[in-house]
Amino acid sequence: MNPASSKKFKNPRAQHDFKGRTCSIVSVGSYVPERILRNADLEKMVETTDEWITSRTGIRERRIAADDEFTSDIAAKAASRALTKARLQAEQVDMIVVATITPDMLFPSTACLVQQKIGAHRAAAFDIEAACSGFIYGLEIGQQFIMSRTYDTVLVIGAEKLSAIIDWSDRNTCVLFGDGAGAAILQNRPGSHGLLTACMGADGTKAHLLSMPGGGSRCPATSESVAARMHYLRMDGKETFKNAVNAMYTAAKESLRRCEIDIRHIKCVIPHQANRRIIDAVGERIGAEPEQIFVNLDKYGNTSAASVAIALDEAVQCGRIQKGDLVLLIVFGAGLTWGAAVIEW
Catalytic residues, which ones? Answer: 132, 272, 302
Alpha-carbon distance 32 to 4, whole Å?
30
3-state helix/strand/coil string of 5-43:
HCCCCCCCCCCCCCCCCCEEEEEEEEECCCEEEEHHHHH
Bridge partner list, 128: 99
CB 75 within 8 A of CB 118: no
- For residue 318, what is the DSSP state? T
- Residue 148 CA, chain-centre distance (Å), reads 24
Q: What residues have CB less than 8 Å from 52, skipping those under 6 apart? A: none
- For residue 177, what is the DSSP state? B
Instruction: Quote the Cα angle for 18-20-21, to 5°.
Output: 115
**Could you give the residue ranges of the DSSP H alpha helices within 221-270?**
223-227, 237-259
CB 27 within 8 A of CB 86: yes
